Chains A and B, each alone.
Chain A
Amino acid sequence: MVGETLRNLLMIAWLLPLVGFAVEIFGGFWGSRKSRTAAWLAVGCIASGFLCSASALVIWGNANHWSVLNKQSHHSAGEHGEHDAHGEQGKGGHAAEPAPKAEHGSVSAQGPYVLTAAVEEHAAESHPAGPTVYSGTLYYLARIGSLDISLDYYIDSLTLVMFTMVTFIATCIHLFAMGYMSEELTEEYVDHNAHLSNGHHVHRPGRFYRFFAFLSLFCFSMLGLVLAGNIFQVFIFWELVGICSFLLIGFYTERKSASNAANKAFIMNRVGDFGFLIGLMVVWTFFGTFRFGETVDEKGTVVQAGLFQLIQRDETGNVVRDAESGEVIIGAHDAALTPGNSRKTIPYALLVVAGLGVFAGCVGKSAQFPLQTWLPDAMEGPTPVSALVHSATMVAAGVYLVGRFYPMFVQEVLLTIAYVGCITLFMAATIAVVATDIKKVLAYSTISQLGYMMLGLGVFGWGAGLFHLVTHAFFKSLMFLCSGSVIYGCHHEQEMPKMGGLWRKMPITAFTMLIGVIAISGLAIPGLVSWSTIFAFSGFFSKDAVVATSLAFVKANPSHFLLFLMPLLTAGITAFYMFRLWFYTFAGQPRDHHVYDHCHESPLIMTIPLMVLSVLAAFCAIGGEQGKLYLMLTGDQPAHVAHGVAAAAGGITLPGHDAIHAVHNQAGTLALIAAVSGTLIAWVLYGTNMVNVAEMKRQLAGLHGFLANKWHFDELYDGLFMQPAHIVGKFCSWIDRTVFDGIIHGSAKVVLFVSKWDRLFDENLVDGFVNLLGTSTFAVGRSLRVVQTGRLRQYVMFIVVGVVALFAILFTTFPG
């Protein structure tokens, strides 16, 4: 049973960190503050998780004979077209041993349902090699009305790639953190950035174990999010990663800035989650289920179709709508319409609302415009946290969810996603140009890259967006860890103007960072034969895919030309600010000798993760869209993605794979030109001394100020929301104090007056009565204590009295 093996492996990978968390948080509390046990435990848990995920990936691939890899290479190596590819694959499938058509999921001990593996339509049609999607129920929580709440799983190639990626990066970062957080291994830690009211530094016990416990909890939540088989479960783990992020950003809780940043991140995410909840309500109201896959009972019959089966698409890729009302049909649209069996529909507008609602959650989590301001502040957390939570995994969860929920999104929603991503990627990149804090640059870069992913998804590049997610996770976590290494080496100095020339002191960090910078910038050496043999690092391929998709999109919908121009321009800006960072930090002459003299290369436990990650950042995407990673990732892409969506009347055309392929070279060339020019400008400005940067800054003071103040978003929100809230609050408080307090005081006086009289009444009349009653019953009770023949007779008399009374009541209440 492949499905069960996969489920068990991923469950182990998912639950191990939870076990780790429990042991670490309690063991650490009672154990020694100087012990590294917690860290080793955390590393052990997540590393075993990685092994489980990786073996799950292999088992999954073997079970379907790696059909996803073969299928795509047929398609793209020569332009065979779909038909040929299917023919080839069909033969391959028959040659192999016949695999079961559908895998049965688990019987959860409590739940009445068994889920079978849902075979996605295209997989069932063209690949008899075996199912690629497995879903089912892990644990049945409750049934409230007709709402099933359960922990489900939904395993497809995306889940597996994400699992492997998350566990691998988390393992590297855990190892790195063991070095980075070693200062916490003490009974008394002095926090130089936190001050008491008397001006002294804060002294507190080290919190090494707590950091790793939180990291483990985060890993559990993140993996749960990826494994989730229903949207409600996604929401649960969505909130769990949110709380972990809150705990980790506010890890140095004594620092005012850290606790503020933690609050900001948490609150801004709530704004997005509000939209998420609305989306959930719409989904629940109209679809009646949260599950992605089908619900199947013990006998194997489908009890309820999953969300992905309920939304049907016609040959053009549009959702199937009712011919008369224009509402979207839920469930099989060709089912016979009988009077008793009216088909369920959802108004198109509400489907848009559901999509936008879920996307609102993603906006918050992935720090997209307009909820982007929390992520730079989140850099208050320890750097490993920034690398894991705020660049590679949690913030990418928003992108992941958009990808996961893709079948439910209609064109309007996708366009919104594209524009939000487009605005975000440009805006964040411009801010990154002027930031001087090394981590802030990376933070803005993260926002910008997340924007790329959203844009990619929005312009119908499902694979492109998620491809960029994975490659970005590798090179961005690498760069964050490098910056962590720099900060650790420079004794918590984060300002780049105080650095410079550091490559002599920390060569490994500088070199691995350079790899990351090249990767994110998308530099490449054009090959001799064709684009498919180009030599480039991972970032080039994924960004190329995004840009090519948006070019195809713009060609189909010329009025949305900005969706191509902005990412192209930003590709240049990205290269510029990333090289600026590198030149600023590592090249040139030391600008602050105090920092330079004390700086040193980090220990091996920190540099080894850097080297491992740098290899992956460089080569994970080798082969581009014909490479293993991309093919694996897109193995189970939504069925309508491949062919694109033809425009309905006045609507938007979404490009299919062929359209994208046609413009691939053109887009790639343009993006490469942009990246190279960005790099060159950065080199001229910061790598050589040809231009006086300070002079330039002075001349462009207005623009610089605008960018350095982050487009005044914090001020804008302050003015838009904070100040009005304060004013309303003040007004309310005034009303409270004058009007309501007046009323309350007045009423209090009245009550006092009444109660005086009431007391008299109470004490004399009521108390008298009650006391009389009390004493009399007490007397009766006391007298009943002594056995006396007369009293017991009275006792028994009550039976008779009771019977007669009851019969009298029966007669009076039930006449004739």
Chain B
Amino acid sequence: MLFTELINSLITDTTQSLPRFGVELCLSATIVLFLLMRLTGLDRLIPACLTATIGALVATFLAYKQFDALHDLNAVPSVKIFTGLLVHDLFSVYFRGFLALFLLLTVALTSLTGIPDEDDSPDFYSLLFGATIGMMLMASANNLLMLFIGIEMTSVPSYAMVGFLKGRKPSSEAALKYVVYGAGAAGVMLYGISLLAGVLGTTDMSMLAARMTEAAAGGSGGLNDPELRTASLGIMLIMVGLAFKLSLVPFHFWCPDAFEGASAEVAGFLSVASKAGAFGLLVRFCLSLSGAPGTESLMTSFGVGLGFIACITTTFGNLAAYTQTNLKRLLAYSTIAHAGYMVMAVAAMLVMANGPQAASMQVDINRSIEGLLYYLVVYLFMNLGAFAIIAIARNYTFSEELDSFRGLISQSPTLCIGMLICMFSLVGMPPFGGFVGKLFIFASAFRAGQIHWFMYVVVAFGALNTVFSLVYYIRVLRTMFMEARPADARPVPVRLASWESAFVVTLAVFVLLLGILPHMMSQTANDAAQSLAIFR
């Protein structure tokens, strides 16, 4: 190919790709705007949170338009952009919309609670937006290199955000731990990528399955085949990297420390958004390896392995949360447990997609992804709600310990009711959204039990853990509702007619709506899940 041709094809490809990259471009432009404003001192005139809100709003709107456009256009649901580095389909647009919405909510929360302060806010929002772009890249990655870049682009701003409370020692400590741990995990994953790419001869994820089949051809289809052995080592190392982002046991050590050190706003952001991106990536990665003839049993055992990890993770997370007295740390363990629940859906998907009747179970495979996507949305609202309430109360009590919440019902009932809804939803009680999400996930895991018996064990663990989790969530509620407010406690006068209350109530209403009227959101999630089937 001539150089000019190469250039020309690159130019056409890029010009075609850019409109589909609109959301990310919008966020990037906002970052540039922050920096320019900082340079010119304009940020003294226009508060950065306003710029951030507008940027996030536009991004949300763009994502919505993209979803709409793709949804109407059933014919071309999946397009590779940027020479096949990224995929543009309903699934990635779903995540874009989800992340942009979440970004918007986080910006709203930060401007309500005043973290960061005015001087730092352009820097903080730049980091926040940069991390969000990384997450969006994760969810639309179609190349192992993009996978790595996405994760790193998410991680690096996250490290800085965790350590953003510069004056606090625990904050810096947490950031350092996070950095070192993240670096270790990144190294492991990079090694896995190089192994996989080396054995299969490609980094394009859409070609992985075919290459796996070639690698397995002639061999026993098991680990005695050296190529497969290397490949599965690579797959596993990549999954370890993802497990770090998802804080799955035994790669969760950073999570409680980082959450405790970070401010509640950042912790809320990390607990939902970075997990969401990682889940998008995990689903894409798993699906790209699924259904390759000759490697089904290997991939099924990876699925069962994921299920196993999910069981361990939920159990560990829930049990470890029992003794926590710091609310953020408690929620950190709860986050670990919830990542476990959601991995169950991926495990179910992997098992079903590599089962003997994978073709006829396409609907069920979509259902499991739908369950995951639905749960993510519910999780967004309920977890952000919980963190937001902690952040709001912290501004009055200067503490995030459980004790400082004692008897809060007498002073700010709105916060307490909001917490009640979020916590009951986290437990998975009807009629809140968490129930519906859990129902979807457990149902698909149960369905996967027809392929491999272990998935029944996974369901049993999921059910058992729901009971476990009741204990510590209820403990928080009991402290808030049933104990008397100590006389020396700082008052938390959050009235019903205040922005804080409005924010909490909005989130709580969404949690409730998702529990009562599941079909609207689940239909959207199902559309997104269906576009993945074509991606395969």
Contacts and interface: CB of A to CB of B under 8 A. Distances in A.
A612 interface: no
A146 to B, nearest CB: 15
A810 B188 contact: no
Contact of B301 (A792, A796, A805, A813): A813
Contacts of A801: 250
Interface stretch (B219-227, B379-387, B440-448, B467-475): B219-227
B118 interface: no
B177 A795 contact: yes
A814 B184 contact: no
- Interface size class on chain A is 20 to 34
B232 interface: yes
Given A110-B520, A799-B185, A799-B240, A814 B301 contact: yes
Nearest to A799: B184
A275 B305 CA distance: 51
A811 to B, nearest CB: 6
Given A799-B185, A816-B224, A810 B180 contact: no
Given A787-B173, A813-B301, A814-B301, A799 B251 contact: yes
Nearest to A802: B250
A120 B97 CA distance: 48
**From A774, A799, A813, residue with most partner B Cβ within 10 Å:** A799
A815 interface: yes
B240 A814 contact: no
B233 interface: yes
Given A803-B188, A816-B222, A810 B236 contact: yes
B184 A796 contact: yes
B180 A796 contact: yes
B460 to A, nearest CB: 19
Interface in A778-797: 784-785, 787, 792, 795-796
Contact of B223 (A792, A799, A805, A816): A816
A805 B236 CA distance: 11
A795 B253 contact: yes
Nearest to A143: B519
Main secondary structure of the interface of B (DSSP, over half): helix
B181 interface: yes
A796 B222 CA distance: 31
Contacts of A784: 257
Main secondary structure of the interface of A (DSSP, over half): helix
Nearest to B237: A803
B298 interface: yes
Contacts of B185: 799
A811 B250 CA distance: 18
Contacts of B173: 785, 787
Nearest to A811: B223
B176 interface: yes
Contacts of A196: none
Given A110-B519, A814-B222, A816-B220, A787 B240 contact: no
A807 interface: yes
B320 to A, nearest CB: 9
A792 B240 contact: no
Contact of A787 (B176, B233, B308, B520): B176
Nearest to B243: A802
Nearest to A795: B253
A813 B308 CA distance: 12
Contact of B240 (A795, A803, A811, A816): A803
B287 to A, nearest CB: 20
Nearest to B454: A813
A739 interface: no
A805 B517 CA distance: 44
Nearest to A796: B184
A806 B305 contact: yes
B177 A810 contact: no
B239 to A, nearest CB: 9
A814 B222 CA distance: 8
B514 to A, nearest CB: 14
A809 interface: yes
A805 B181 CA distance: 18
B236 A815 contact: no
Given A110-B519, A798-B253, A802-B240, A810 B181 contact: no
Contacts of B220: 816
20 contacts: A110-B519, A774-B323, A787-B173, A792-B176, A795-B177, A795-B254, A796-B184, A798-B250, A801-B250, A803-B188, A803-B240, A807-B233, A810-B223, A810-B236, A810-B305, A813-B304, A813-B305, A814-B222, A814-B298, A814-B301
Report, nearest first, the 3 A-B pairs whose CB atoms are least far apart.
A802-B250, A816-B222, A816-B224
Given A792-B176, A810-B223, A816-B220, 17 more contacts: A110-B517, A774-B323, A787-B173, A787-B177, A796-B184, A798-B253, A799-B181, A799-B251, A801-B250, A802-B251, A803-B237, A806-B236, A807-B236, A809-B308, A810-B236, A814-B223, A814-B301
